[in-house]
Structure 1
Amino acid sequence: MSWGIAEWYGKDIRRMSAKERADAASVALETNEKGMEEVEQPRCPFLDSARPGARCNKPGGVCSIRSYEGTKPKDDEQPAAVCPNRFLELVSGQSVFARIAKDLYGRTSGAKVIKEIPFLHKVDAKGEVNRSAKAGRIDWVLVPEPPAKGASGSFDWVAVETQAVYFSGGNMWVDIEQYRKDPAHLHAPQAQRRPDYRSSGAKRLAPQLDAKAPVIRRWGKKVVVIIDQSFYGELATLPTKVDDFDNAEVVWVIMRYTDAMNLVVDKLFFGLLDESIQALQATRPLNKAEFESGLKEELWRTGKKSKVHDA
Structure 2
Amino acid sequence: MAKKPKEKEMYHIAEWYGEPYYDINDARRQQLAGFKPSGKMLQKEEMKRILKYRDKAADGTITAKETTSLQKLEAQLTGLQATRKPCPFRSDMPFPFCTKPGGVCSMRLYEEKPPSIVPVTGARAYIRGMCPYRFQEKDRVFQHIGNDLLGDPVPFQAGEVGFLKSTGNLDSAAGRSVGNIDMVLVALNTPTGHPMEWCAVEIQAVYFSGKNMPDEIKEIYKQQGKLTMPKEGRRPDYRSSGPKRLMPQLQIKVPTLRRWGKKMVVVVDVAFFKSMGKMRTVDDVSNCDIVWCLVDFEQPAPGQPYELKVIDPPTYTTLESAIEGLTGGDAVPLDDFESGIQGKIDAAP
Give the structure-1-normalised TM-score.
0.81
How many Å separate the matches in 1 of 2:242 and 2:202? 12
Structure 1 residue 160 displacement after superposition: 0.4
Structure 1 residue 130 displacement after superposition: 3.2
Hey, what does 1:10 align to over in structure 2? 18
> Secondary structure of the residue that 1:7 maps to in structure 2?
strand
Query: Greater Rg, structure 1 or structure 2?
Result: 2
Matches within 5 A, 1:262-273: 262-267=307-312, 268-273=314-319
Hey, what does 2:137 align to over in structure 1? 89
Hey, what does 2:69 align to over in structure 1? none
Unpaired runs of 5+ residues, structure 1, are 301-305
Corresponding position: 1:74 with 2:120:
yes
How many Å separate the matches in 1 of 2:271 and 2:217? 23
Alignment RMSD? 3.0
Moved more, 65-74 or 34-43: 34-43
Match of 2:33 among 21, 25, 36: 25
Structure 1 residue 231 displacement after superposition: 0.5
Matches within 5 A, 1:286-297: 286-287=332-333, 288-289=335-336, 292=339, 296=343
How many Å separate the matches in 2 of 1:291 and 1:255? 42
> Secondary structure of the residue that 1:159 maps to in structure 2?
strand
Structure 1 residue 159 displacement after superposition: 0.6
CA contact (8 A) 1:115 1:141 kept: yes
How many Å separate the matches in 2 of 1:24 and 1:123? 48
Corresponding position: 1:102 with 2:133:
no
Hey, what does 2:326 align to over in structure 1? 280
Hey, what does 2:102 align to over in structure 1? 60
Quickly say closer, same or farther: Cα 1:255–1:69, change in 2 above 3 A: same
Corresponding position: 1:220 with 2:228:
no
Quickly say closer, same or farther: Cα 1:246–1:62, change in 2 above 3 A: same
Quickly say closer, same or farther: Cα 1:176–1:147, change in 2 above 3 A: same
CA contact (8 A) 2:279 2:325 kept: yes
Paired residue type of 2:28: E
Hey, what does 1:156 align to over in structure 2? 197
Structure 1 residue 17 displacement after superposition: 3.6
Quickly say closer, same or farther: Cα 1:227–1:298, change in 2 above 3 A: farther
> Secondary structure of the residue that 1:233 maps to in structure 2?
helix
Structure 1 residue 153 displacement after superposition: 7.3
CA contact (8 A) 1:72 1:188 kept: no
Hey, what does 2:51 align to over in structure 1? none
Give the structure-2-normalised TM-score.
0.73
How many Å separate the matches in 1 of 2:237 and 2:327? 13
Structure 1 residue 275 displacement after superposition: 1.0
Structure 1 residue 124 displacement after superposition: 4.0
Structure 1 residue 53 displacement after superposition: 2.1
How many Å separate the matches in 1 of 2:287 and 2:84? 43
Corresponding position: 1:139 with 2:179:
no
CA contact (8 A) 1:161 1:224 kept: yes
CA contact (8 A) 1:227 1:253 kept: yes
Unpaired runs of 5+ residues, structure 2, are 1-8, 43-78, 301-305
Q: How many residues align?
A: 290
Corresponding position: 1:120 with 2:164:
yes
How many Å separate the matches in 2 of 1:43 and 1:138? 26
> Secondary structure of the residue that 1:210 maps to in structure 2?
helix
Paired residue type of 1:285: A
Quickly say closer, same or farther: Cα 1:286–1:246, change in 2 above 3 A: closer
> Secondary structure of the residue that 1:98 maps to in structure 2?
helix
CA contact (8 A) 2:278 2:324 kept: no
How many Å separate the matches in 2 of 1:5 and 1:294? 40
Moved more, 202-211 or 165-174: 165-174
Corresponding position: 1:257 with 2:297:
yes
Hey, what does 1:187 align to over in structure 2? 228
